[in-house]
Every structure is written in C-alpha cells, then in structure tokens.
Amino acid sequence: MSNRRSGLMLVALSAATLMTSAVILSPTHALAQGAPPAPPVQVSAPLAQRVTNWDEYTGRFEASAQVEVRARVSGFLDALHFRDGALINKGDLLFTIDQRPYKLAVDVARAEVTRAKAQVDLSQNEVERAEGLTQNRTITARDVDQRRTNLNSAIGAFEGAQANLKTAELNLEWTEVRAPLAGRISNRRVDPGNLIAGGQTGATLLTTIVAVDPIYFSFDASEADYLRYSRLTDLRKVTSREEGTPAEVRLADETQWKRRGRIDFVDNALNARSATIRGRVVFPNSDQFLTPGTFGRLRVFAGEVDALLVPDSIIVSDQANKIVLTVGPENKIVPKPVVLGQITGGLRVIRSGLTPQDKVVVGGFASPMVRPGATVNPQPGEIKPPATN
C-alpha cells in the first residue's frame, strides 16, 4: 500500500514539474510568436549613366562697357535730348551746351585765318619782287633774306591761325554731347539751365551709360576647382581661355537653364585673401532683359563623366553629411555618407560614396522601423532613368 502511495506521489510531482515548466516557457514562446516582422523596403542599384558634368557658382551680371558722360567744354546747359533710362544708340545727341560763345570764337578764328593768309600773300609778293631786283643789284642780299624771313613768319602765323580755327570748331562741336556707345542711359544728373564745368579734370558728371548687349557675368571659382580643371588633361580643351567654356545661367526666379554663353576671360592670378580666381562669361542680351547688378546661378561645363544617380528624395541629412540608406549583410540598414553633384533629369548625381553594387533603399521609408541598424525585408525596386523631352 505504501509503495502505491509513493508511486502516486512521484506521478503528481512529475506533473507539477511539467506544469511549472509550461508556465515558465509560455511567455517566451508567446513573445517569439508575436514579434513584428521585418518591414519591407524597395531596393535598387544606383542608376549608372553618362551625364554632362557641371560646376555651379553664384555671381552677378555686369555691363560689358560703362562710361560716365561728362562735358568737354564749359557753359550753360541749354537742352536735354533723351528720356531717363531709355535705350540709346551710339552717336545720339544727349545734351546741348549754349553754343553762342563758341560760334563767336569760330568767327574770330576764321577772321584771323583770313588776316594771316593776306599777310602770307603780301610777304610772298615782296620776296618775288626782291629776287627780281637782285639781278641789277638794286637791292642787297640782306634785304632779300629779311623779306624771306618775313614770309616764313607769316606762313607760321597762318598755320597757327588755322590750328586755332580747328580748335574753335572742335569746341563748338563739343557743345553737343553725344552718346559714346549704345546701351541704356541712366537719369540726368544736371538739368538745363545749370552752369557745368568741362575739361579733362573736374568736369561735371551729366549721366552714365551701360552697354547691355552683350552682357557679362562675373563669378569666383575656388582654388580647388581651378586646380582640378588645370590637371584634367581631357578637359583642357573645354576649359581653354581661347575657345571659351560653355556656361549656362538662371535667375533667382527661374528653374531652367535657358540662357547660354561662354567664358571669355579667366584672371591671371588667384586672390591671395580668398584663394579664388575670377572668371567672366559673356551672354547675348538682345531683349535687354538682363540688367547689370542682378544675381544669378551659373553652371560651367566640366565635360562628360560616368556617374551614379539616385532620386533626390531618398537623400537624408545628419549634422554634417548627406546620407543614402542601403541594405547590407544580414538585410540590415547601412547608412552611407555621399558627396552630391547636380540634378540631371530629376535624379541626383552622386559624386562619391556609392558603388554600382550597393542596394539603395528607394521605397518603404514610411515605417518607423526603417532606421540604421534595423533588419528589413528587401524587395526589388527600380530607379527610372531621367525622362527625356
């Protein structure tokens, strides 16, 4: 009877032990069964494509020529012949200075020329008469020499009078201030009726004119860019000062690069303080829309390169870098710092940081589980090539 009871007790203890084990193991088993699955993400290799490489800079437009209009002669400003801010042609009449004193000066100079010419004729006749009298010794050789001297003096006075006449006529011509170049004129700085000063120094500023067709765009390139262009032998032709590197510009409110020009000047030295070198692009401006002083964004042709492209929307940022999320070993998210290039056809060029074999995450970012180090379920995705118009 006791053996039977002992057996029953052993069976009860075994059952209790099994129940206790079941109670202890069931939560872990339930947790394993209830763990959330790895979030699905779409992955694709970066799109490899040959693209046109551009370097971008910020600069401003400048007039291709600029002059300050000043009078060459003094006097009262008599008339104004232009509208402030208008487009003008070379040679257009802008201002008229009171011409009356200068016309009188021309008349005086012309009368002096006539008087000097009469003196030359008289001296010439006296020399010819004296030369005839020397044959019969009626007049001495000394008297002949004196008359020849008088003739030469009269000729000199005549030539001086002619020069004075040309000067007076030139001063009269300068009373009409004309445009030295074609372009857009500023506002008048002096109104008619004012006395203005002329001459080479201290002359009164009347207005300014800028030539806007063509127009210049000036920018500063870094020393690193300058060295890179200089060392790339396959780009020496496209960066030639002589041939002109293609360049494009867009204004602050423009999204497309429609304005095309060429670099026509690169400075001969780098700025010692900023370590930059100045360049200049010339653009046609037949519609006169581009205005000196306007800022713009310039991109300069830097040849064609084989590049990797990804959608610009998948690029994230941390405090210091631009990052692209990729799927690495064991399907874990691996962030990769990248160096960005320009946007081509809606895709961002990646200059460095990715390889053609990388699995770039292009979809599935909505899940909060998609973060660096997380395990994901990669699904095939696609980076479509840029759309062509």
Distance CA 289, CA 324 (A): 41
Both structure tokens of 42:
């779409």
Tell me the chain's radius of gyration from C-alpha atoms. 45
Distance CA 59, CA 359 (A): 39
Residue 165: exposed, middle, or buried by beta-carbon count in 10 A (0-12, 13-18, 19+)? buried
Distance CA 174, CA 94 (A): 12
* Pairing mode of beta strands 322-327, 333-344: antiparallel
Distance CA 188, CA 279 (A): 33
Give the per-residue pLDDT at 298.
Answer: 95
Question: What is the arithmetic mean of pLDDT over 7-23?
Answer: 42
CA dihedral defined by 22, 24, 25, 30, rounded to 10 degrees? 100
CA distances from 310 to 49, 60, 135, 296, 385 (A): 11, 31, 110, 27, 9
Average pLDDT value for the chain: 84
Give the per-residue pLDDT at 302.
Answer: 78
The string of pLDDT tens digits covering residues 315-371 is: 888 878 899 999 988 888 899 999 988 888 788 889 889 999 999 998 887 777 788
Is the bond preceding 214 in cis, omega lying within 30 degrees of 0?
yes
* Residue in the structure block whose two tokens are 């300068």: 174
pLDDT band at 20 (very low <50, low <70, confident <90, very high): very low
For domain 40-51+306-380, is the CATH number 2.40.420.20?
A: yes
Question: C-alpha 45: how far from its chain's center?
Answer: 37
Are the C-beta atoms of residues 44 and 359 closer than 8 Å to each other? yes
Both structure tokens of 30:
């339930």
Break the chain into its structural domains and give their ranges.
40-51+306-380, 55-63+214-302, 99-174
Are the C-beta atoms of residues 308 and 349 closer than 8 Å to each other? yes
pLDDT band at 387 (very low <50, low <70, confident <90, very high): low
Q: 189 or 135: whose pLDDT is higher?
A: 189
pLDDT band at 131 (very low <50, low <70, confident <90, very high): confident
Question: What is the arithmetic mean of pLDDT over 48-59?
Answer: 88
The string of pLDDT tens digits covering residues 218-270 is: 999 999 888 887 776 444 444 445 557 889 999 999 988 899 999 988 898 99
pLDDT band at 382 (very low <50, low <70, confident <90, very high): confident
Are the C-beta atoms of residues 310 and 351 closer than 8 Å to each other? no
**Residue 26 belongs to what H/E stretch?**
helix 2-34
Which of the residue ranges 211-220, 289-298, 360-369 would you say has the lowest mean pLDDT? Answer: 360-369
55-63+214-302 fold: Elongation Factor Tu (Ef-tu); domain 3 (2.40.30)
Helices and strands: H and E segment counts in the chain:
4, 19
- Residue 127 DSSP SS3: helix
| Nearest CA among 95, 57, 98 for reference residue 74 | 98
**Residue 66 belongs to what H/E stretch?**
strand 47-70
pLDDT band at 33 (very low <50, low <70, confident <90, very high): low
Predicted confidence (pLDDT) at residue 13 exceeds the cutoff of 50: no
Give the per-residue pLDDT at 172.
Answer: 96
Residue percentage of the chain with pLDDT more than 70:
85
**Residue 118 belongs to what H/E stretch?**
helix 100-133
Residues 6 or more apart in contact with residue 308 via CB below 8 angstroms: 46, 47, 48, 349, 350, 354, 355, 356
CA angle 70, 71, 72 (to 5 degrees): 120
Predicted confidence (pLDDT) at residue 203 exceeds the cutoff of 70: yes
Distance CA 161, CA 7 (A): 154
**Residue 103 belongs to what H/E stretch?**
helix 100-133
The string of pLDDT tens digits covering residues 61-113 is: 999 999 999 999 999 999 999 999 999 999 999 999 999 999 999 999 999 99
CATH code linked to domain 99-174: 1.10.287.470
Strand partners, 246: 262
Residues 6 or more apart in contact with residue 140 via CB below 8 angstroms: none
